[in-house]
Structure 1
Amino acid sequence: MLDEDNSIESRREAVIRGLILYLGEKIEDLIKDYQIHGYYDAAAVQDALTTLVLSIFVVGKAGSEGQRQVGIAIEGTEVLFGVPNVALACAYLMGLIYALDLSYPKKLKYTFEVFQKIFLEQEDGNKRMSSKVHDLMVSLHA
């Protein structure tokens, strides 16, 4: 899971993971952790990535924030690797979704709606905010 350190990157990652849980979605639908204990098997991780549709993956030694590598996989292909942290990977993923005109994963519709409408403050004129996301926004601004 997350390290015990108190860096801003760790706190941002904790907020993102907590947000996903708060919205009733599964962390592993967005963030895949490949914690390595000892020997790093790059082939095994690459093989595992082929099953990812739209995900952020974290590779590194368990319990060592500085030695973790973060990447993005789309349609089973690694499109970006070496991102410094999960929060930045989320921002890059949103940019890739817009640039490639991809749809949000249905399993994470609320999470991506929060990213779009609350974090990035981008309204979609054709769609109203879901009640779950609206309630969160009201709570945050209270």
Structure 2
Amino acid sequence: MLLLFFPHSLPFSLLFYYWFQLSAEFSRIVTKDLLESFLDGLDALVPGVLQMYGEAAASGRRVRLSSILSCLQKEDTNQNKRAAVLLGLPCYLAEDSSDIIRMCDAHGETLDVLMSGMQVGLLIGHEGPLHDAFPLDVFNVALVIEEKIILHDLRDVSTGFAMLLGAIYCLNLEYPRNMKYSFEFLQRVVMNIKPDQCSARIHGLRNKMLRYRM
């Protein structure tokens, strides 16, 4: 059983220091506020991306997107819309997120088991069995690098993704192979960091999204 999902082995002051250092380094490199820029960019894209997911789900090309979108029929909050966009992205791009993004029942497996094989990723904590595609009530998100938690008590999925992207960028890590296009989308399109350097696949996706803004 997990104790409050993550044991508080790191004092709050140290957690805050790591958060501050990561955010400050990102701002130094990119001259953007990490969390603010990520959320602003994400919110601008949410309506169009959800519409794009809906069309893909309706065509039968991405069945799992249907279950992700159905979660919003239960709780159509801004946080859940953000989570649906982020968690649905690898599905839309036909990528495997299982080694990077993991859902965790507070009373389920131990941390060692949960983090096994995670070189970089997120643990998303929820209470009780998960009956939906993603938890509608997240109480803790942790950033994992090399099977170790370096940040926890992140308040929601979108904050977790922002810090994960920031860590990859600041530590000069490669995109996780199984989600390289998802992370490229987050960097080039959501954060608008060097958008002219995106791959042909993400360039095509960005152009496709333009019609959802018209």
| TM-score interval, smaller chain | 0.7 to 0.9
Q: Which residue matches 1:96?
A: 167
The number of residue pairs the alignment matches comes to 136
Q: Which residue matches 1:135?
A: 204
C-alpha separation between the residues in 2 aligned to 1:97 and 1:47?
23
Alignment partner of 1:115 is 2:181: no
Once the two structures are TM-superposed, the CA of residue 46 in structure 1 deviates from its matched residue by 4.1
**What is the DSSP-based 3-state SS (H/G/I as helix, E as strand, rest coil) of the residue aligned with 2:110?**
helix
C-alpha separation between the residues in 2 aligned to 1:98 and 1:129?
15
TM-score by length of 2: 0.57
Residue number among 127, 133, 139 corresponding to 1:68 in the alignment: 139
Q: Are the aligned partners of 2:97 and 2:179 in contact in 1 as well (CA < 8 Å)?
A: no
TM-score by length of 1: 0.82
Q: Which residue matches 1:49?
A: 115
Q: Which residue matches 2:19?
A: none
Once the two structures are TM-superposed, the CA of residue 67 in structure 1 deviates from its matched residue by 5.2
Alignment partner of 1:18 is 2:88: yes
C-alpha separation between the residues in 2 aligned to 1:67 and 1:115?
21
Q: Which residue matches 1:80?
A: 151
C-alpha separation between the residues in 2 aligned to 1:130 and 1:98?
17
Residue number among 9, 12, 22 corresponding to 2:79 in the alignment: 9
Matched residue type, 1:29: D
Q: 1:129 to 1:98 in 2, by over 3 A?
A: closer
Q: Quote the sequence identity (%).
A: 24
**What is the DSSP-based 3-state SS (H/G/I as helix, E as strand, rest coil) of the residue aligned with 2:144?**
strand
Once the two structures are TM-superposed, the CA of residue 47 in structure 1 deviates from its matched residue by 3.9
- Structure whose residues are more often strand by fraction: 1
Structure 2 runs not aligned, ≥5 long = 1-66
Once the two structures are TM-superposed, the CA of residue 45 in structure 1 deviates from its matched residue by 2.4
After superposition, the C-alpha distances for 1:34-89 in whole angstroms (9 at most, x for unaligned) are 124xxx25x71244224311111112214664452111100000011111111111
C-alpha separation between the residues in 1 aligned to 2:150 and 2:170?
13
What CA RMSD, in Å, does the superposition of the two structures yield over aligned residues?
A: 2.3
Which protein has the larger Cα radius of gyration, Structure 1 or Structure 2?
2
Q: Are the aligned partners of 1:53 and 1:74 in contact in 2 as well (CA < 8 Å)?
A: yes
C-alpha separation between the residues in 1 aligned to 2:166 and 2:143?
12
- Structure whose residues are more often helix by fraction: 2
C-alpha separation between the residues in 2 aligned to 1:19 and 1:66?
20
